[in-house]
Amino acid sequence: MPEEKLKSIDKATVELIDKAERENISTVFSRADELKPCPIGVEESCCKICSMGPCRLPRPKKGEGKVRVGVCGATIETIVARNFARKVAAGAAAHSDHAREVVQTFIKTARGEAQGFTIKDEIKLLAVALDFGIAVEGREIGDIARELGEKALNEFGRQEGELVNIGKAPLKRQELWRKLGVTPRGVDREIVEIMHRTHMGVDQDYRHLLQQASRAALADGWGGSMISTDLQDIMFGTPVPVLGSINLGVLKEDHVNVVVHGHEPLLPELLVVASRDPEIRRLAEKTGAKGINLAGMCCSANEILMRHGIPCAGNFLQQELALVTGAVELMTVDVQCEMQGLQSVAECFHTRLITTSDRAMIEGATHIEFHPEDGLDTAKKILKMAIENYPNRRHAVYIPDARQDMVVGFSHETINYLLGGLFRASYRPLNDNIMNGRIRGVAGVVGCNNVRTPHDSGHIAMIKELIKNDVIVLTTGCAAMACGKEGLLTPEAAKLYGGSGLAEVCEAVGIPPVLHLGSCVDNSRILMAATAMVKEGGLGDDISDLPAAGAAPEWMSEKAISIGQYFVASGVYTVFGTTWPTAGSEKVTRHLFEEYEELYKGMWAFEPDPVQAAQLMIRHIDKKRKALGIDKARDRVLFDMAMRRALD
Amino acid sequence: MDQIDKIDQIDQIGGKMSDYQYEEKEDFSGKKVKVLGPTYEEGKPDERGDWRSKLGSREDALRYIRTALRYWYSKEWYGSEKRKQEA
Ligand code: SF4
Ligand code: SF4
């Protein structure tokens, strides 16, 4: 009998996959067994943008001289590049439409029209207002916020010029973008232009198509995503270190369990407020429950975890399994990464699935739309529905005994503070420790789970290899949650898994070797941390000079492609796992993997083995250390008193 | 005052050297040396490390932005990029 494929490295996940199988409940894991990926689609060698197709262009057979083209004559390069650019457009659109929703709510908050929302972080408001050239001296907070909201909204529809946040990047990078013609003008414009240029019979030069992909991706990273992060911080607070816990064991048998799933933190923030309302608590107790237990899932989880320490039930591949426990009264979903399969799992139990965004409905689910004007009332209504549903549990509840503590909340501002204190905040200690070799380099490991690779395995194997080799890791999204479950987000992890140099620095500063920076839009925090390192000095003049690399070992969504593309265009060597979406064309792949190094000083790579991928990243880090002349360890030894006296 | 006395004095202010833990490790040349061990507090934080609430007034906030976040907000100092600015 063939050995069964490992589905997850997380015990709780495996337990619930088994439970689902025993009870004949369809989940992403069982569906993936039944539905194999299409071999042509996996290489992106098909085009279906016009009805003369779909045109399938598999690789030519050995010895086949004929060059295959589509009915219109489109080459495989054009088809693959078009598909890639469309992925970037979809990913950038997802992050940026999230941002638009945040900005619109921000404007309503500034006008006092958003129920339950306030300006929580005045410091960040002042800083972001300065970015936008807004006068702050002597002005009321509400007044500054109103002007900022309007200016931020203009970034989406801007037609000419440059996005404001481009000015935050290292000067050398800004010059390079201008030279390459990829400085984004407006967020929406760059995305729309991809959709136009990839329409049948428009842009048919793969290099030119991928240039626009960079422009749209940069409009995501330095535009939409960064605007989201900044304005969310202003409304809900910039993350500071906080203790949280993670995994399916955060669900509580004797509580009303409400799982908040999706991406936009607007309604989740109000659910946090409403769950603490004495009236809601009393109602929950009346039904015999001990209280309300709010838990997060995917990036909504990251947002409320980072700001309030609300427990996180799990990452992307655990969404259906949370319902398989039979303990979830209600799950809210807004936008992105919500599987339609949730509804059929919910129907096997008493669980109510609630869609809350005007942009996303799921057939069969109940739709309760969130609007900032009465957001708190909506949050209370949803919690009351969950409470009413508590007595309807009809299955025996099974919650795996799996819950791990973690320290989260490392915004780029908090890292700056932890390294130097409030008034001497600085990235200098980090740069110094990179220069003296205690820390070898920095890696950003981010992104999704993908059912085609054992759940969490890629993240954990890669990150353990990196920290063992003294590379400090910044993480976001589902990758960060995988780290949390494995215990890598605790200061103790430095000693357990880190190389001696990295462990020493982490111990001295009191930080984990893997820093959780937030949700997927918070990858913009990694861009800011990298920029601070460049500007601090000693590690070159551009992000591409840093001993740094990026990775998404378990990516699956189009958002990940957009993130990867803006990291690469910002000068970061970026390695992806699972599959590679330009595999159908050698020329396009060579352009992204090799020619990009010449153009952007950063390039893509693909390596499905996470340890090998980590080794590629370490080799790149060492190459950059050599270029900076810091490849020979110039270690300082911390002397004790006797050694100091002996020096005399 | 010689260097060692200065260090002694600093130690007396900031906590005795003997209060710290030391560990034996190899330096880059393979020689055994004693290095400072963990200096963070044991256990898990039960409160948010809310350092931002220490900044009270608008002036404090703006001073923090211009100094701590000087990479983006200082008029005079741009770290590695200072050299590239025209005088
Ligand atoms: S159109 Fe593309 S993805 Fe769909 S079946 Fe054909 S080759 Fe596969
Ligand atoms: S655009 Fe060209 S390659 Fe694409 S489906 Fe139409 S005919 Fe085929």
Distance CA A330, CA A385 (A): 8
Provide mean pLDDT across the span A400-416: 95
Of 3.40.50.2030, 3.30.43.10, 3.30.497.10, 2.30.30.90, the CATH number of A440-628 is 3.40.50.2030
Per-residue pLDDT band at B50 (split at 50, 70, 90): confident
Segment 364-423 of chain A within 8 Å of chain B by CB: 405, 407, 409, 413-414, 416-417, 420, 422-423
* Mean pLDDT, rounded, for A81-91: 98
What's the predicted TM-score (pTM) here? 0.91
> Residue A343 has what pLDDT?
98
For ligand 2, the distance from its centroid to the CA atom of residue A44, given in whole angstroms, is 13
Please report residues of A whose CB lies closer than 8 A to that of B52. Answer: 121, 123, 237-238, 240, 413
Whole-number Å distance between alpha carbons of A84 and A582: 7
When pLDDT is averaged across residues A336-342 and rounded to a whole number, the result is 98
Domain A76-236 - what CATH class? mainly alpha
- For residue A424, the model assigns a pLDDT of 81
One CATH from 3.80.30.20, 3.50.50.60, 3.40.50.2030, 3.40.1010.10 for A248-392? 3.40.50.2030
Domain range annotation of chain A: 76-236, 248-392, 440-628
Overall domain count for chain B: 1
For residue B14, the model assigns a pLDDT of: 37
pLDDT at position A59 is 83
Q: What number is the average pLDDT over the span A294-315?
A: 94
Question: Chain A to chain B, count of Cβ pairs less than 8 Å apart?
Answer: 142
The residue assigned the tokens 């209060």 is B19
Which pLDDT band holds residue A62 (cuts at 50, 70, 90)?
confident
**A207 residue type, one letter:** R
Give A436's contacts (C-beta < 8 A, 6+ positions apart): A633, A634, A635, A636
How far is the CA of A115 from the CAs of A59, A184, A305, A371, A373, in angstroms? 57, 34, 22, 9, 5
Considering only CB atoms, which chain B residues are within 8 Å of A635? 27-28
Q: From residue A510, give the alpha-carbon distance in Å to each of A243, A407, A493.
A: 14, 11, 11
Q: Do A645 and B4 touch (CB under 8 A)?
A: yes
User: How far, in whole angstroms, is CA A76 from its chain's centroid?
Assistant: 31
Percent of chain A with pLDDT over 70: 97
In a domain, B70, yes or no: no
Q: Residue A355: in which H helix or E strand, if any?
A: strand A352-355
Q: What is the pLDDT of residue A145?
A: 98
Average pLDDT of the segment spanning B46-69: 84
Q: Is residue B54 part of a domain?
A: no
Q: Is the pLDDT of residue B19 over 90?
A: no
Residue A215 clears pLDDT 50, i.e. is over it: yes
The domain of B12 spans 3-36
Q: Which residues are near ligand 1 (CB < 6 Å)?
A: A 38, 40-41, 46, 48, 54, 56
Contact A94, A87 (CB under 8 A): no
Q: Is ligand 2 within 6 A of the CB of residue A102?
A: no
B9 is a domain residue:
yes
A645 or A557, which is more confident? A557
The verdict on residue B27 lying in a domain is yes
Query: Does B45 fall in a domain?
Result: no
Contact yes or no for A240 and B27 at CB 8 A: no
Per-residue pLDDT for A176 more than 70?
yes
Q: Distance (Å) from the C-alpha of residue A509 to the closest C-alpha of chain B?
A: 7
Task: Identify the pLDDT of residue B7.
Answer: 37
Is residue B25 in some structural domain?
yes
Return all residues near A503 (Cβ < 8 A) that are at least 6 apart.
A494, A495, A513
Element (H, E) at A312: strand A312-314
3-state DSSP percent of chain A in helix, strand and coil, to 5: 50, 10, 35
**Chain B neighbors of A537, CB-CB under 8 A:** 79-80
Percent of chain A with pLDDT over 90: 93
Whether residue A593 contacts residue A546, with contact meaning beta carbons closer than 8 Å, is answered with no
pLDDT at A220: 98
The residue ranking higher by pLDDT, A67 or A551, is: A551
Q: Tell me, what amino acid is at A373?
A: E
Per-residue confidence at B40, pLDDT binned at 50, 70, 90?
low
A440-628 and A248-392 share a CATH fold: yes
User: Can you give the pLDDT at residue B45?
Assistant: 58
Domain membership of residue B22 (yes or no) is yes
Q: Is residue B20 part of a domain?
A: yes
pLDDT of B80:
66
- What does the block give as tokens for B4? 């060692």
The string of pLDDT tens digits covering residues A482-539 is 999 999 999 999 999 999 999 999 999 999 999 999 999 999 999 999 999 999 999 9
The answer on pLDDT for A639 being more than 80 is no
Report whether pLDDT(B30) > 70: no
More confident residue, B21 or A139: A139
**ipTM of the prediction:** 0.88
What's the pLDDT band for B3 if we cut at 50, 70, 90?
very low
Report the SS3 class of residue A579: coil
pLDDT-derived band at A423, boundaries 50, 70, 90: confident
